[in-house]
Amino acid sequence: MQIIIAGLSGLLMGLSTAPFSLFYLAWIALIPLWFLIFYQENKVKFTIKSFIFNEKTLIAFIWGLAYHGFAIFWITGIHPMTWMGVPWLASLLIAIFCWLFISIWGAILVVTWSILIRFLDLGKPGKLWLKSPWFKSVSRIIWGVAIWCFLEWFWSQGALWWTSLSYTQSPHNLAILQLSKFSGYSTITASIIVVNALIAEGLILYHNNHKNIRQSIIFLITSLSLFIGLHLLGSFLYNTPFINSDKTAIKVGIIQGNIPNTIKLYPEGWRRAIEGYTKGYEKLANQGVDLVITPETALPFDWNYIVNNSSFYPAIIKKKVPVLLGAFGFKNGSYTNSLFSIDKYGQILSRFDKIKLVPLGEYIPFENILGKIIDRLSPLDSHLIAGKTDQIFKTSFGQAIVGICYESAFSEHFRRQAKAGGEFIVTASNNAHYSQIMPAQHHAQDVIRAIETDRWIARVTNTGYSGIVNPHGQNLWISDINTYEVHQDIIYTRDTQTLYVKFGDWLTFLLLGLGGILWGIKML
């Protein structure tokens, strides 16, 4: 029964993500997990094996598998890949493998959290006042919040990252998302966990001893007060106006090419891409935009081919409107997934090579091993290689912050560029691989990035959703899905720096320090 409850509560957390966006469920979906793991102490003699491999670990795994598995089920949309020459059955197996691998990787985070916090909870404090249920609960809450935030930070340093608890609140709970200006997405994650944990600990206190009713009520009231207080603070920040100046305005033009993946890298797709993006560029240029932006690999060729063999380059020379163009770069004998900043004379002003490549899509981790099992999902003949982390992207209207597709999930990627002087955000993506769930979640990720950095963002995708988002996370325009669209709008450059941009994820490490102090006091 406990396993079923854990699985159902993990699914509740999954339902809080876009496009279902039942974000309020996230504020209660951790309660069953917390309660089931901590409501009773282990009565079995302690061994490393019994401590790690037990029902509590299984509960954590099932909760994590349910949450992450549900949230990223859209990954199975890569099937069928018959258009790439992959047999139907092999395509299905690859899709299932990718989904299970990523889901289990997410579940491991929850399992690790469970093991670490239970380890810190071991032992009995020497001093009498430290033995109180109140101290035990408060310590566990701080450890739980600190460890989860740290594990999310640690997971985000790797190649597989998408499902932070914070993105359950995006794009609709804009009040709470404003808190990400303080310490990034971990501020949101910490808020969700502490509200859940206070309720769970209140229930645990009452369950273990009905005489703890007063303390239990205090925990419940504290949770409710904190929930309301955090939203009031966020609402205040949300309603604080930001100043736009005509001097900092950029009239941008967005082209959503709508080239299906089934034809994108074949002659018919090439023809449609060149025709569609050239036509869109000329239309926007005639409307007087300052800057045209295209999606990731809008023209799936290298720059020299575009200059010599397409109608797009002559259009730039004729219309003289700068463009940010998604195409392939070439470097050290391999391709890069790049965004080129082209000035009005058709010269490359800057180039940004994608840093966070998609595992199993644009490259295979441990390819010497896995490459023998799984054919690369990328149809390119050469490997895609990652760009350097210190890239600066200049445009005709100032320095931009660039995210190419999957990079939207990596907060630090945007923070670094904002701190280095980036004045507005451009994300260029091709979401045609997956179901409509993925583009909605991708948009939700970008909303958080805009708020964290206090920047305007122009989202440009191949098939949707493209959009314009302001620094408060408001969607000023969003495209339809699977349609060809040409849109013009205004964004503004900004040079402000939030606490998060200045100091990074300081909250996580502050909580770790506080948790360490409490553990030290307990062990006295």
**Enzyme catalytic residues:** 296, 354, 405
Burial class for 87, CB neighbours closer than 10 Å (0-12, 13-18, 19+) = exposed
Question: What is the spatial order of strands in the sheet that 393-395 belongs to?
Answer: 393-395, 398-404, 424-429, 457-461, 467-469, 475-478
3-state secondary structure of 487: strand
Nearest CA-CA partner of 357 in 336, 381, 339? 336
Element (H, E) at 488: strand 485-492
Burial class for 73, CB neighbours closer than 10 Å (0-12, 13-18, 19+) = middle
CA distance linking residue 394 with residue 424, whole number of Å: 11
Please tell me what DSSP assigns to residue 424. E
Element (H, E) at 458: strand 457-461
Main-chain dihedrals φ then ψ at residue 291, nearest 5 degrees = -150, 130
CA distance linking residue 389 with residue 219, whole number of Å: 44
Q: Are 259 and 296 in contact (CB under 8 A)?
A: no
- Angle between the N-to-C axes of helices 88-120 and 55-71, in degrees from 0 to 180, rounded to the nearest 10: 140
Tallying the residues shown for the chain, one arrives at: 524
CA distance linking residue 411 with residue 417, whole number of Å: 10
Distances (CA, A) of 518 to 181, 200, 293, 295: 28, 20, 51, 49
3-state secondary structure of 483: coil
Nearest CA-CA partner of 455 in 408, 400, 412, 502? 400
Question: Positive or negative, the Cα torsion across 202, 205, 207, 212?
Answer: negative
First to last CA, the chain: 39
Pairing of strands 485-492, 249-256: antiparallel
